Amino acid sequence: MNMIPTESLISSVVMIGAGNVATHLGQQLYKQGISVAQVFSRNLDKATRLAQQMEAEPINDLRRVRPGADLYLIAVHDSAIAEVAAQLPKQPLFVVHTSGATPATVFAAHYQRYGVFYPVQTFSANQPMDFHQIPICIYAADESDLTLLQTLAQRLSQQVHTIDDRQRAILHVAAVFVNNFTNYLFHIGYDILQQEELPFNLLRPLIQATAQKVQQEAPAAMQTGPAIRHDAITIARHMDYLQRFPAYQMLYKIITKSIQNQ
């Protein structure tokens, strides 16, 4: 049996943040037997609720962050990462964030040991996740720290990828298209049906089938609809109906043209 050297293991973590990402990630770390020593949030109630789930100490003051943990995991809004990094104690900590859009170098002015631990998934409260299927993208400034993150990520997921800041930023752009933008399109469909007093359940099987198709094939190969068929009569009817929704009509026109240009 191959044993992993103790020095290659992260056994204790301080969680900076108590939102959706911190909650799901913290819970998964705890399930894997990794000690979560502290949970920080400016809102002590939020810190306490999450800390109670993993036998951690809740804190709402970064000056109370204790040294000695193997990893300090910052899971806050992108705009707050630099501020948090500047306020953490200046001991020789190993600090990472969970952002797809923020470069690891945000830590360079404060720490020698830093990196990224980015789960490529959208997290919502009270929505359980199968972490084994979530890709985790890692990066560290130091090779030995990268090994630590890789070993940790492999305890949580079957998909671990080492990518640099540029690659991760590009991945995040693509993720916005396939997640945030598609969800907004779902909202448009929901809004139209609501205004016409039709149930959104009529579209849920279609959404499910579309998502299942792209698990097997390239999206372009799966494209259907009036735009790809250049069905001008149907497109004109849709545009006529959408006159009552000018913003949706403009988006319909742009997307239709983009599909046809492809």
pLDDT above 70: residue 1: no
CA gap 157, 189 in Å, rounded: 34
- The pLDDT tens digits for 90-133 are 778 999 999 999 999 999 999 999 999 999 998 887 777 888 99
Closest CA to 235 of 258, 253, 262, 210: 253
CA gap 216, 150 in Å, rounded: 27
pLDDT at 228: 95
- The pLDDT tens digits for 129-167 are 888 999 999 999 999 999 999 999 999 999 999 999 999
Closest CA to 202 of 211, 212, 192: 192
Residue reference for tokens 């016409």: 196
Radius of gyration, CA atoms only, the chain: 22
Distances (CA, A) of 241 to 14, 149, 246: 54, 53, 10
Beta bridge partners of 74: 16, 97
Closest CA to 76 of 126, 21, 24: 21
81 burial type by CB count under 10 A (0-12 exposed, 13-18 middle, 19+ buried):
buried
- The pLDDT tens digits for 199-243 are 999 999 999 999 999 988 899 999 999 999 999 999 999 999 999
Instruction: Read off the pTM.
Output: 0.89
